[in-house]
């Protein structure tokens, strides 16, 4: 589209998002009016501006002008000056006072305000204090506008520029000149690469100390995003050399400087061959592991419950509830009753839920307060249905009260060391999904004497966030643990369960389609596979599993490619929720959203408000926080208010601004990683080759165990078998197990 320049004064600001500066305003020009949109945090009503941008046509609002850059012009006459000062742009100055100021100083008004603000006190109704306040406001607005113009030179958008200005104020000039890499440390949305581009434009040399330090911190940050708690020094330095594109002779000097500044922690580890290896942690991650290890040991106290007495009471519970536990399950309940911390692990169909129920009955009969929680809303819902006791997410249990966007390390919980949970027993399910941040927050909210029971399947994929908490707890061998291995008779009738265990054990799975709940449709052409998937969701499976098409989930190993999430979602949307004049649409960077679409939240948003609406839309409950992996349906797109309303499970409605829809993506198909902790009536898994590092046994195992009633795999039996044979596990650099063992030794010395 062709860019053009417009000039006029801001008559009215229709809408402004204070967080990101997105603004809709009415611009009055000579003989015309124009609706303008853009990231314009510093523009105020009454201002005369010259703006550059492109014209767009909105389906509802008609012609709009998208502002890409602008500059404020000095008002040319007394009327324009009055309009600007009296528009509300300056607090405490209304139309009448603006008229008196302009009448007194005429066209010299702005100069007086900027250069001789004390003279404003000459005007009736303005004290010396008020004069200073007016001058300060005008100066601040001018400073912000100048900052926006300055930052735009370096390719920084207005939205990001607003963040930078709010962070540093007029100190941004000094920071950019001395060390632009500080932006990457302090401001979300500025990574090393953006800071590096700014630095290059400013003239910072390639071997600058600031550049090297920032690169090292950036690589550690990227490593944590991949699940690692640390990096070996040799890997860190090799990655840094590659990123910097230069040879740094003595990288250890910069590492030592960062360690002195407490940005990183360096630890020596002895190797089996007698040598040593240096582990480099981002500072917070070393102390997260250390503190978790200490708090776990503090909880791990022997309780006074007599084991034989527990067994007698357990026998009574079995009789009264009509359940029959095997010896391993009984041992699990006894262990839970006599331990401050206990781990229960096992695959599908091994009786974890039955064991949890027995624990709940025992503790309830003892008059104890019991809290149940899981990492995701779906997992918590499953826990509630399976136990009959109300379960919630760990975030809700800890009373999350907002945070900084997706940064789980900076989120605040109301329940913490100062305000611990008032519980006797806390049972957490799906612990394999819990990362180090969430485990640390949970442990902070527990006091010694509270029993903590951790339940999970260590063969599932690890958490999305950093750490490998469940595996490290088991690997440490420092805490009571019961492993359930027996597949119970009812579960053994399900080929989903039987085949899941075969996959996990590396055994051959029979693909003769004689099963009632596990099907393999051999197809070797991408287009044929896509047609089969559409047919299964739209016609075949809904009736078979008694579910709506939107409840049937396609799970795929990859994001890209013909059978990746992105392509599958486009195709499935086309067939399952086609365009219609009755359905509003919204297009953003992630594609087109349509009313009725199935969507997923793709980042943690601790500050997004939701509400449960009762009859006639009356709000029954409010809360905050929508989390990575939450599934919902778009119920309404309001082009006038520029909002999208999504209904999540439990009838939670959340309103997104159009800008916030960047946190959503279509979810007819999701990656297997995103499906952790969830369960669906039916799952469809397309398999037709992929990278060996990705196509692993535990990925397939996780996908199959997401299905409640039916698994259908469509694709190549060769790929299927190759995944079973591929026992590569994701190697995460974590040392929680080592920290736990160290703390254990300290207790005995």
User: Is 345 annotated in some ligand binding site?
Assistant: no
CA angle 206, 210, 215 (to 5 degrees): 75
User: Is 53 annotated in some ligand binding site?
Assistant: no
Taking the C-alpha atoms of residue 652 and residue 453, their distance in angstroms, rounded to an integer, is: 29
Instruction: Note the helical H segments in 261-413.
Output: 283-299, 307-321, 327-338, 352-365, 377-387, 394-397
**Residue 84 and residue 99 in contact, taking contact as beta carbons nearer than 8 Å:** no
Taking the C-alpha atoms of residue 190 and residue 578, their distance in angstroms, rounded to an integer, is: 37
Residues 6+ apart with CB under 8 A from 587: 593
Contacts 24+ apart (CB under 8 A), 635-643: 635/595, 636/584, 636/595, 637/584, 637/585, 637/586, 637/593, 637/594, 637/595, 638/584, 639/58, 639/59, 639/60, 639/61, 639/584, 639/586, 640/60, 640/61, 642/15, 642/24
Compute the residue count for the chain: 749
User: Is 393 annotated in some ligand binding site?
Assistant: no
3-state class of 671 per DSSP? strand
* CB burial string 471-486: b at 16+ within 10 A, e below: bbbbbbebbbbbebee
Find residue 48's DSSP bridge partners: 9, 73
**Residue 644 and residue 682 in contact, taking contact as beta carbons nearer than 8 Å:** no
User: Is 353 annotated in some ligand binding site?
Assistant: yes
Taking the C-alpha atoms of residue 612 and residue 285, their distance in angstroms, rounded to an integer, is: 37
Token representation of residue 103: 């009448």
CA angle 646, 647, 653 (to 5 degrees): 85
User: Is 31 annotated in some ligand binding site?
Assistant: no
Taking the C-alpha atoms of residue 30 and residue 608, their distance in angstroms, rounded to an integer, is: 41
- The binding site for ATP consists of 349-353
Binding-site residues: 349-353
């Amino acid at each position: 589209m062709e860019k053009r320049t417009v000039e006029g004064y801001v008559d009215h600001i229709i809408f402004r998002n204070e967080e990101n500066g997105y603004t809709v305003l009415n611009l009055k020009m000579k003989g015309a009016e124009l609706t303008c949109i853009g990231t314009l945090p510093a523009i105020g009503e009454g201002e005369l501006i010259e703006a550059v941008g492109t014209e767009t046509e909105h389906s509802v609002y008609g012609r709009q002008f998208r502002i890409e850059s602008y500059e404020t012009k000095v008002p040319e006459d007394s009327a324009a000056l009055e309009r600007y000062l009296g528009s509300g742009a300056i607090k405490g100055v209304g139309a009448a006072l603006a008229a008196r100021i302009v009448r007194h100083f005429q066209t010299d008004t702005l100069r007086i305000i900027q250069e001789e603000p004390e003279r404003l006190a000459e005007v009736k109704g303005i004290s010396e204090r008020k004069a200073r306040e007016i001058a300060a406001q005008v100066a601040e607005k001018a400073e912000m506008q100048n900052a926006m113009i300055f930052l735009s030179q370096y390719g920084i958008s207005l939205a990001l520029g607003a963040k930078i200005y709010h962070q540093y104020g007029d100190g941004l000039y000094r920071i950019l000149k001395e060390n632009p890499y500080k932006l990457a440390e302090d401001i979300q949305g500025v990574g090393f690469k953006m800071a590096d581009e700014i630095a290059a434009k400013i003239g910072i040399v390639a071997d600058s100390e600031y550049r090297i330090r920032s690169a090292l911190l950036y690589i550690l940050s990227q490593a944590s995003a991949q699940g690692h708690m640390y990096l070996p020094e040799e890997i860190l330095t090799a990655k840094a050399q590659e990123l910097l594109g230069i040879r740094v002779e003595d990288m250890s000097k910069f590492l030592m400087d960062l360690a002195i500044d407490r940005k990183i922690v360096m630890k020596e580890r002895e190797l089996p061959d007698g040598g040593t290896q240096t582990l480099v942690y981002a500072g917070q991650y070393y102390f997260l592991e250390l503190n978790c290890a200490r708090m776990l040991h503090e909880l791990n106290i022997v309780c006074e419950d007599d084991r034989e007495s527990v067994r007698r009471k357990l026998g009574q519970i079995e009789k009264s509830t009509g359940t029959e536990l095997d010896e391993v399950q009984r041992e699990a309940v006894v262990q839970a009753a006599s331990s401050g911390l206990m781990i229960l692990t096992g695959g599908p169909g091994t009786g974890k839920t039955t064991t949890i129920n027995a624990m709940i009955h025992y503790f309830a009969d003892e008059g104890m307060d019991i809290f149940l929680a899981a990492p995701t809303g779906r997992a918590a819902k499953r826990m509630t249905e399976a136990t009959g006791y109300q379960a919630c997410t760990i975030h809700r249990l800890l009373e999350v009260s907002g945070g900084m966007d997706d940064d789980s390390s900076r989120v605040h919980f109301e329940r913490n060391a100062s305000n611990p949970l008032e519980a006797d027993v806390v049972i957490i399910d799906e612990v394999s999904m819990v990362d180090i941040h969430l485990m640390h927050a949970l442990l902070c909210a527990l006091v010694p004497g509270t029993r903590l029971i951790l339940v999970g399947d260590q063969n599932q994929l690890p958490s999305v966030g950093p750490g490998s908490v469940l595996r490290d707890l088991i690997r440490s061998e420092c805490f009571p643990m019961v492993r359930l291995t027996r597949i119970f008779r009812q579960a053994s009738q399900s080929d989903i369960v039987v085949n899941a265990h075969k996959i996990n054990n590396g055994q051959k799975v029979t693909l003769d389609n004689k099963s009632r709940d596990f099907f393999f449709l051999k197809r070797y052409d991408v287009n044929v596979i896509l047609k089969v998937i559409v047919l299964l969701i739209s016609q075949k499976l809904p009736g078979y599993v008694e579910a709506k098409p939107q409840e049937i989930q396609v799970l795929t190993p990859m994001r890209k490619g013909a059978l990746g999430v992105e392509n599958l979602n486009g195709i499935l949307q086309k067939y399952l929720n086609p365009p219609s004049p009755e359905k509003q649409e919204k297009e953003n960077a992630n594609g087109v959203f349509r009313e009725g679409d199935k969507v997923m939240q793709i980042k943690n948003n601790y500050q997004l408000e939701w509400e449960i609406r009762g009859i006639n839309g009356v709000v029954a409950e409010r809360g905050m926080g929508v989390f990575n992996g939450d599934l919902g349906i778009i119920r309404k797109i309001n082009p006038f208010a520029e909002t999208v309303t999504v209904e999540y499970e439990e009838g939670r409605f959340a309103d997104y601004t159009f800008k916030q829809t960047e946190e959503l993506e279509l979810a007819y198909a999701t990656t297997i990683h995103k499906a952790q902790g969830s369960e669906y009536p039916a799952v469809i898994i397309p398999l037709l080759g992929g990278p060996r590092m990705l196509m692993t046994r535990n990925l397939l195992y996780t996908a199959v165990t997401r299905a409640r009633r039916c698994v259908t795999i469509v694709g190549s039996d060769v790929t299927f078998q190759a995944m079973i044979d591929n026992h590569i596990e994701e190697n995460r650099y974590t040392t929680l197990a080592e920290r736990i063992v160290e703390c254990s030794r300290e207790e005995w010395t």
